[in-house]
């Protein structure tokens, strides 16, 4: 546990050194000892060490512009996400409507097939007029109704 703590402190120390070096603009050298550990210093040790180029801190204007660009990217990402969600909702609604229409169409198809069976059995079939009086269909009327239903089934029903 102590090893990990010291490694974290050492890493933090390195970053502090970098940030101090950035503000001072002093040269920083990196070197590796015989055990393979990396060290940083403001002076080369025993002729070892490569100078590290430290970038200058961005100006306040550059930081402000970067924040504006980041905000614009976030707004764009959010807008794209809204559009995708809207499309998903529309697609879901469309699928639900299609499913409802399919159920209704299947019910109508079952009803039409049932009517064909009734008409084909030779029973007396009647229709009620607007006054509630029964009018029995002739054989020709039954056959015409069967053909009409068969055409409708062929056009609208899945076999």
Query: Tokens in use for 44?
Result: 């080369």
Check whether residue 43 and residue 16 sit in a common domain: yes
- In the chain, the number of structural domains is 2
Query: Tokens in use for 52?
Result: 């590290």
The DSSP element (H or E) to which 128 belongs, if any, is strand 126-128
Check whether residue 90 and residue 46 sit in a common domain: no
What's the rounded mean pLDDT across residues 84-98? Answer: 93
Give the whole-angstrom CA distance, residue 152 versus residue 110: 12
Give the whole-angstrom CA distance, residue 46 versus residue 91: 71
CA 50 to chain centre: 49
Q: What is the pLDDT of residue 56?
A: 79
Check whether residue 124 and residue 73 sit in a common domain: yes
Check whether residue 43 and residue 113 sit in a common domain: no
User: Residue 27 above 90 pLDDT?
Assistant: no
Q: Which residue has the higher pLDDT, 24 or 32?
A: 32
What residues make up the domain containing 94?
60-156
Q: Could you tell me the pLDDT band of residue 22, with boundaries at 50, 70 and 90?
A: low
CA 41 to chain centre: 50
pLDDT in tens, 37-79: 888 888 877 777 788 887 778 889 999 999 999 999 999 999 9
């Amino acid at each position: 546990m102590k090893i990990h703590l010291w490694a974290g402190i050492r890493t933090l120390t390195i970053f502090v050194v970098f940030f101090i070096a950035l503000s001072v603009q002093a040269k920083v050298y990196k070197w590796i000892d015989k055990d393979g550990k990396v060290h940083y210093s403001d002076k080369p040790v025993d002729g070892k060490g490569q100078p590290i180029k430290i970038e200058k801190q961005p100006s306040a204007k550059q930081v402000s512009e970067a924040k504006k660009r980041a905000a614009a990217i976030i707004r764009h990402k959010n807008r794209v996400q809204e559009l995708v969600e809207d499309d998903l909702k529309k697609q879901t609604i469309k699928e639900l409507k299609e499913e409802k229409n399919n159920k209704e169409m299947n019910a109508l198809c079952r009803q039409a097939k049932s009517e064909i069976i009734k008409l084909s059995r030779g029973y007396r079939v009647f229709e009620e007029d607007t006054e509630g009086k029964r009018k029995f269909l002739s054989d020709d009327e039954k056959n015409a109704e069967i053909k009409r239903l068969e055409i409708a089934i062929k056009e609208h029903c899945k076999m």
